[in-house]
Amino acid sequence: MAEGLRFQGFSDPSIEGAVSLSLAPNELVVLTGPSGSWMSRLAWDLAGLGRSRIVSGPGPMVLTRPPFLDPSRSALRQIENRLMASGLSRRRAASEAVRWCGEEGLSGLSHRSVGSLPEGLPAFITLALPALMAPAAIVVEDPLPGMSAGLAERAVEILIGLTGTSSVLILASDPVRFEGRARIEAVRARGGVA
Amino acid sequence: MSSFYFREAFERLSSPSRLAPYLLVPPLLALTVTMQNTVPAMSWLLPLLAPQNPVWGRLGLALWNASLVAALLSGIIGTGFFPSTFGSGWFRSCLALPAGRSAAYWQTALVHLLISACVLALTWAAIITALHVPPGFPLVATLAGGLALLLWTACFSAFAGLLAPSWGAGMLQAGLAFAGLVAAPASAVALAQPLSIGDLAMPPLGRMVIRGMAGWPDWVAAAVLFGQALFFAVAGLLIFRLSVRLAGRRYSP
């Protein structure tokens, strides 16, 4: 049974006060707010890399803002490496990554170097990680920029589908694609502008 | 222990563009050996002692020049590779994976060292096959000294790559290595003196190479190089961890 995600006491110079949030198991929450570095800083802290520990309990899988893949190498090979880093065996990582890319219609593209892929596609391909690992909690920072409308819609469907096994926190400056499909929480900019 | 960063670094460093500079080992080796045999002006950089034995001198010259050339190319590749890796957004993003924070630094540096060591080992093997090793030649000391040279270069290029962009890291490495080479004592009497505390601040590259070429291995200089390499490895690791903790994604593009 998934445990959800809870963090408290996150603060940043660009936002008002301290942010605390609790996600129920299998819940999708979009945390939105002013543009700025606060999202990156929050993702960094949630990954346990920041100055203070804000997550109680096991940390979530965190996909920080793209670029997540080296532009000079094959996307598929890098996804395999990252799946292995997250606990899958080499054989299983390879077969699962190939299967996922095939199901998403990316078989031909995934072998190409990331730098040669259309904009937005590398970020889309990284969604293979939470989709295949199904961790208890996932944080994805700004997952949709650069994607075409069709690709962004498919990415949103994948993120919503993750709630079958995980609690999902999306950090996004523009939550419009999630309206009516997720709980949306807003942080306020310092000075009172939302 | 996850080997994620080891695989990532190996894939990047084994790409043709990163390996291509090692093709320069044979011509550079031929050039340096020829120059040291024939051009008197080289003596200001590496003033050769008279070999105790002409056959020893020939083998020592080839092995030590191979070590110098491999270390030079390793340094050039390293100072291009480490800044572009540690400073890139995708690499910083990977730190959020459950693959260890320190491993991002030491596994990346280890791969660079291992690939350089493979190139050097192959070059040594070719030399030893071509030139018979005479009885009594200090082969183990020579190979250990060459490895110390390479270890120092790899550890320092990773350390410099953390502190500066490629050109800056290259300047740092070239400056310190060049100073270490030319700071070697110019006479046999001075070379016979033990290293002083003041000498420890500078890598004793020239001293070790000159004595090695003369078939007169300097274990103390090799140990100092190992020690300095260890210092740069540990200092680099600490700075890397600190930069992750304090700077966060300040490196992001």
A61: closest chain B residue by CA: B97
Indicate the average pLDDT of chain A: 90
Q: What is the 3-state secondary structure (H, E, C) of chain B?
A: CCCHHHHHHHHHHCCHHHHHHHHHHHHHHHHHHHHHHHCHHHHHCCCCCCCCCHHHHHHHHHHHHHHHHHHHHHHHHHHHHHHHHHCCHHHHHHCCCCCCCHHHHHHHHHHHHHHHHHHHHHHHHHHHHHCCCCCCCCHHHHHHHHHHHHHHHHHHHHHHHHHCCHHHHHHHHHHHHHHHHHCCCCCHHHHHCCCCHHHHHCCCHHHHHHHHHCCCCCHHHHHHHHHHHHHHHHHHHHHHHHHHHHHCCCCCC
Task: Show residues of chain B in contact with A85, CB under 8 Å.
Answer: 2, 4, 94, 97-99
* pLDDT exceeds cutoff 80 at B110: yes
Identity of the residue in B2, B15, B90 whose CB atom sits nearest the CB atom of A85: B2
- Residue A48 to chain B, least CA–CA distance (Å): 8
- Pairwise pLDDT comparison (B40 vs A120), residue with the higher score: A120
Q: What confidence tier does B183 reach under pLDDT thresholds 50, 70, 90?
A: confident
User: Per the CB < 8 Å rule, is A71 touching B101?
Assistant: no
* pLDDT exceeds cutoff 60 at B50: no
Q: What confidence tier does B45 reach under pLDDT thresholds 50, 70, 90?
A: low
Q: What confidence tier does A123 reach under pLDDT thresholds 50, 70, 90?
A: very high
Interchain contact A71–B (C-beta under 8 A): yes
* Residues B152-165 pLDDT 10s: 999 999 999 999 88
* Residues A68-96 pLDDT 10s: 899 999 999 999 999 998 888 999 999 99
- Alpha carbon B177 to its chain centroid, in Å, reads 9
- Identify the weakest region by mean pLDDT among A122-126, B101-105, B200-204: B200-204
Q: ipTM > 0.95?
A: no
User: Per the CB < 8 Å rule, is A84 touching B4?
Assistant: yes
Structural contact between residues B127 and B146, judged by C-beta atoms closer than 8 angstroms? no
* Residues A136-164 pLDDT 10s: 999 999 999 889 999 999 999 999 999 99
* pLDDT exceeds cutoff 60 at A2: no
Please list, in sequence order, all residues whose beta carbon lies within 8 angstroms of the beta carbon of residue A12, skipping any fewer than 6 positions away. Answer: A36, A37, A38, A41, A42
pLDDT value of residue B41: 56
Please list, in sequence order, all residues whose beta carbon lies within 8 angstroms of the beta carbon of residue B105, skipping any fewer than 6 positions away. Answer: B86, B158, B162, B236, B237, B240, B241
Other C-beta atoms within 10 Å of A193: how many? 9
What pTM was computed for the model?
A: 0.89
User: Per the CB < 8 Å rule, is A81 touching B96?
Assistant: no
Containing H/E element for A61?
strand A61-63
Indicate the average pLDDT of chain B: 86
A39: closest chain B residue by CA: B249
Q: Which two tokens stand for residue A175?
A: 């939550």
Q: What confidence tier does B97 reach under pLDDT thresholds 50, 70, 90?
A: confident
- Residue A182 to chain B, least CA–CA distance (Å): 25
pLDDT value of residue B192: 75
* pLDDT exceeds cutoff 50 at B249: no
Q: What confidence tier does B248 reach under pLDDT thresholds 50, 70, 90?
A: low
Task: Show residues of chain B in contact with A81, CB under 8 Å.
Answer: 4, 7-8, 11
Q: What confidence tier does B35 reach under pLDDT thresholds 50, 70, 90?
A: confident
Q: What confidence tier does A192 reach under pLDDT thresholds 50, 70, 90?
A: low
- Domains annotated for chain A, with CATH where assigned, are 5-186 (3.40.50.300)
* pLDDT exceeds cutoff 90 at B75: yes
Q: Which two tokens stand for residue A181?
A: 């499909």
- Residue A45 to chain B, least CA–CA distance (Å): 8
User: Per the CB < 8 Å rule, is A50 touching B248?
Assistant: yes
pLDDT value of residue A54: 84
